[in-house]
Structure 1
Amino acid sequence: MRILGIDPGYAIVGYGVVEYFQARFTTLAYGAITTTPDEPFERRLLKIYEETKELLIRHRPDAVAIEKLFFYNNKTTGIDVAQARGVILLACAQCGVPNYEYTPMQVKQAVVGYGKAQKIQVMEMTKRLLRLSSVPKPDDTADALAVAVCHAHSASSRLLEQAMRAKGGITVDLQRKRNTGIR
């Protein structure tokens, strides 16, 4: 299963693409979509939308895992992030890729095994699980990879795999499917 993990934002959108097959991860790509404060907000949203769509087209994920938003003190920032998240979800819908949402606590639980783990613990475990030489930067990128790992470890990814098999009417070897380009 190929998963695009996304940590939404409007200044930085972290992303990570992983393949999960037979309980092993392969990291395919990661990075960040960035915008600058001097750009009009609608142009920032357009850039996020276009670059997200490009990632979806280039990597052809089976699912997108995206972090759920939580509003703490600054509701204005939260609303802006929600708008950025909306254009990300729009790109997913237009490309026909299902998306799954995870709270920060769910991500911590899935990656570290403890829902109240510290951010550094999540980053370090993500690095280990993905066999990376260092924790990806910026932090939003590492967070996106952790969300992808969370999805791979969740029950919903197994349900998606079953749905994909049922859709084809036969048992599908997902690795063969990837190697032959069958979608």
Structure 2
Amino acid sequence: MRILGIDPGYAQTGWGVVESDGQHNRPVSFGVIKTSTSQLDSQRIHFIAKSVGLLAEEHKVDICAMEDIFFTKNVSSAIPVAKVIGACIHQMGLQDIPVRLYSPPTIKSAVTGFGGAEKHQVQEMVRILLGFETIPRPDHAADALAVAICFAVYDFSRIRMKLP
């Protein structure tokens, strides 16, 4: 099964594709979608969603796992990210690709065993679990790979058996 992990962001959206059989995970590709402050908000959001759709098509993914907004003190920065999440969910829906959303503590727990892990600990475990020599860069790409691993840990068998 091919899993597209997404770390949604307004300026940079991380993405990572992992192939999993439920026990073994193999990295396929990863990167970051960047937008420019010179673009209109609607253009940035559209570009991110369209790019995610193209990545899903290119890598023939079966499912999309995405980090959800969990908590933020700055609501004004959370709103654009929420728009990106919604646009990506819509794009995946157009392509009949199911989406699973995970909170940051859930992702951290799946990857490190501890929901309060620090960012560098998560990224180091991504390196180890996927067999990289160094932590994948940029950071948002490593975070996206962590989201894909989270799906493989928590929901692989349910999806494979077609359960809700």
Is the radius of gyration larger for structure 1 or structure 2? Answer: 1
Match in the other structure for 1:150: 150
Identity of aligned residues (%): 37
Q: 1:17–1:145: 8 Å Cα contact kept in structure 2?
A: yes
Q: 1:36–1:44: 8 Å Cα contact kept in structure 2?
A: yes
Match in the other structure for 2:74: 74
**Which residues in structure 2 correspond to 1:96-107 (within 5 Å)?**
96-107=96-107
Output the CA distance in 2 between the equivalents of 1:117 and 1:62. 28
Give the drift of 1:22.
5.5
Helix, strand or coil at the partner of 1:163 = coil
**Which residues in structure 2 correspond to 1:112-131 (within 5 Å)?**
112-131=112-131
Match in the other structure for 1:111: 111
Match in the other structure for 2:38: 38
Query: Which amino acid is the alignment partner of residue 158 of structure 1?
Result: S
Q: In the alignment, does 2:2 pair up with 1:2?
A: yes
**Which residues in structure 2 correspond to 1:20-99 (within 5 Å)?**
20-21=20-21, 23-99=23-99
Q: 1:71 to 1:38 in 2, by over 3 A?
A: farther
Query: Which amino acid is the alignment partner of residue 57 of structure 2?
Result: I
Give the drift of 1:126.
0.5
Q: Which runs of 5 or more structure 1 residues have no equivalent in the other structure?
A: 165-183
Query: Which amino acid is the alignment partner of residue 83 of structure 2?
Result: Q
Give the drift of 1:38.
1.4
Match in the other structure for 1:163: 162
Output the CA distance in 1 between the equivalents of 2:25 and 2:41. 36
Stretches of 4+ aligned residues off by more than 4 angstroms: none
Output the CA distance in 2 between the equivalents of 1:121 and 1:81. 24
Output the CA distance in 1 between the equivalents of 2:127 and 2:105. 18
Output the CA distance in 2 between the equivalents of 1:101 and 1:22. 18
Q: Which runs of 5 or more structure 2 residues have no equivalent in the other structure?
A: none
Helix, strand or coil at the partner of 2:161 = helix
Output the CA distance in 2 between the equivalents of 1:159 and 1:103. 19
- Total equivalences in the alignment: 163
